[in-house]
Amino acid sequence: MGRKRTCELPFCKGVVEGTRNKRRCDKDRNIHLHQVISRNVRKIMKYIESKEDLTANDVNRDLFKSKLDKNEKGSMYRLFQAMVREGYLLEKGKRGGLKVYSFSGTHSVDDEMVEETAAAPQFAEPQQAPVAQKPRQLSPEEILLGKLREFVHLKSGQWNHEDWLWLINRQDIREYGLSESDIGRILEEEKTRYWVQRNNY
């Protein structure tokens, strides 16, 4: 099972179990984390706090020189989802098929340093809570398109026949009732979009 350790997210007090490349937090907040991501959580947080908004591709390009493989990208995506659940990140829609995130202003790296060193008086005043925005309800077509885009990005714009069979037999894909040819057409469109965006970086 592997050794137990504290969750890499500084604002999560859970315990992580598992091997180096497959760890699950006992708070069930996210699966932690491929090593290159877990070693750089605080660095990623500092980057997030310095940007007005960002996508996973921005982080991959600026912090990792676009060298993350598809598994490490998936690991970073799960990290972002955990940060959204913790209120550290906000989702701001999509750009070029990728989710756009922004720092919520809470749980910053500096805040964590203050907590660890017994808070200085100037941090004692409570911060105003961010205004909760009710997310727009996505249509079934938008949800399916998001799943197919995620597949293209996790496969780095290329996949084999086994990947295709796995995708079209997923229950959460089949339930939308699209034919295999329609799914294939959408995938090819998203693949073209992916490579255009990637080659423009």
Is 75:34 a contact under the CB 8 Å cutoff? yes
Please tell me the predicted confidence (pLDDT) of residue 117: 47
Please tell me the predicted confidence (pLDDT) of residue 30: 47
Per CATH, which fold does 1-136 belong to? Arc Repressor Mutant, subunit A (1.10.10)
Q: Where are the domains of the chain?
A: 1-136, 138-201
**Tens-digit pLDDT profile for residues 150-164:** 999 888 889 999 999
- Give the count of beta carbons closer than 10 Å to the beta carbon of residue 169: 9
Please tell me the predicted confidence (pLDDT) of residue 165: 93
Please tell me the predicted confidence (pLDDT) of residue 160: 92
Is 117:123 a contact under the CB 8 Å cutoff? no
Please tell me the predicted confidence (pLDDT) of residue 166: 92
User: Which residue ranges of the chain lie beneath pLDDT 50?
Assistant: 1, 29-31, 117-124
Please tell me the predicted confidence (pLDDT) of residue 113: 52
> What does each C-alpha distance from 136 to 31, 120, 128, 142 come to in angstroms?
27, 39, 24, 11
Spatial CB neighbours of 84, under 8 Å, sequence gap ≥ 6: 90, 91, 101
Tabulate helix, strand, coil % of the chain (nearest 5).
50, 10, 40
Please tell me the predicted confidence (pLDDT) of residue 24: 65
Is 74:151 a contact under the CB 8 Å cutoff? no
DSSP 194: H
